[in-house]
A and B are shown apart, each in its own frame.
Chain A
Amino acid sequence: MIALLIRDLRLAMRAGGGFGLGLAFFLIVVTLVPFGVGPQSELLARIAAGILWLGALLACLLSLDRILALDWEDGSLDLLATAPLPMEAIVSIKALAHWLTTGLPLVLFAPVFGLLMNLPEAGYKPLVLSLLLGTPALSVIGTFGAALTVGLKRGGLLLSLLVLPLYVPTLIFGAEMARRGVEGLDITTPLLMLAGITCGTIALLPFASAAVLKVNLR
Chain B
Amino acid sequence: MVLNISDLTIARGGIKVLEGVSFDLAPGGAIVLRGPNGIGKTTLLRTIAGLQPPHSGRVDADPDSLVYAGHSDGLKATLTVEENLVFWAQVFGKTDISQAIESFQMARLINRPAGMLSAGQKRRLGLARLLVTGRPVWILDEPTVSLDGDAVAMFASAVRAHLARGGAALIATHIDLGLPEAEVLEVGPFRARAAELDDFDEAFL
> Which residues of A are at the interface with B, using a C-beta cutoff of 8 A?
2-4, 7, 10-11, 14-17, 73-76, 78-85, 215, 217-218
Known: A10-B83, A74-B72. A218 touches B93 (CB 8 A): no
Number of B interface residues in the complex (CB < 8 A): 30
> Which of B52, B71, B77 is close to A218, meaning CB atoms less than 8 Å apart?
B52
Tell me the B57-93 residues at the A interface (CB within 8 Å): 64, 66-79, 83, 87-88, 90-93
Known: A7-B76, A17-B78. A217 touches B51 (CB 8 A): yes
Closest partner residue, chain B, to A77 (CB atom): B74
Q: A17-B78, A215-B205, A218-B46 are in contact. List 14 more A-B contacts (CB 8 A).
A: A3-B90, A7-B79, A7-B87, A11-B79, A16-B78, A74-B72, A74-B74, A74-B75, A75-B74, A78-B70, A79-B74, A80-B91, A83-B91, A85-B91
Q: How far is the CB of A181 from chain B (nearest CB, A)?
A: 40
In the complex, which residues of chain A have a beta carbon less than 8 angstroms from the beta carbon of B69? Answer: 79
In the complex, which residues of chain B have a beta carbon less than 8 angstroms from the beta carbon of A2? Answer: 90
> Which residues of B are at the interface with A, using a C-beta cutoff of 8 A?
46, 49-53, 64, 66-79, 83, 87-88, 90-93, 129, 205
Number of A-B residue pairs at CB separation under 8 A = 73
B73 A75 Cβ-Cβ under 8 A: yes
| Chain B interface, >50% SS class | loop
In the complex, which residues of chain B have a beta carbon less than 8 angstroms from the beta carbon of A82? Answer: 49-51, 66-68
In the complex, which residues of chain A have a beta carbon less than 8 angstroms from the beta carbon of B93? Answer: 84
Known: A16-B78, A75-B74, A78-B74. A217 touches B91 (CB 8 A): no
A84 B64 Cβ-Cβ under 8 A: yes
In the complex, which residues of chain B have a beta carbon less than 8 angstroms from the beta carbon of A17? Answer: 78
Known: A4-B91, A16-B78, A84-B92. A78 touches B83 (CB 8 A): no
Known: A14-B79, A84-B64, A84-B91. A76 touches B50 (CB 8 A): no
B87 A3 Cβ-Cβ under 8 A: yes
In the complex, which residues of chain A have a beta carbon less than 8 angstroms from the beta carbon of B205? Answer: 215, 218
Q: How far is the CB of A81 from chain B (nearest CB, A)?
A: 6
Bound complex: CA of A215 vs CA of B13, how far in Å? 12
A79 B78 Cβ-Cβ under 8 A: no
In the complex, which residues of chain A have a beta carbon less than 8 angstroms from the beta carbon of B64? Answer: 84
Bound complex: CA of A165 vs CA of B75, how far in Å? 34
Bound complex: CA of A215 vs CA of B73, how far in Å? 21
Bound complex: CA of A105 vs CA of B70, how far in Å? 36
Closest partner residue, chain A, to B13 (CB atom): A218
Most interface-central of A3, A4, A79 (chain B CB within 10 A): A79
Closest partner residue, chain A, to B67 (CB atom): A82
In the complex, which residues of chain A have a beta carbon less than 8 angstroms from the beta carbon of B79? Answer: 7, 10-11, 14
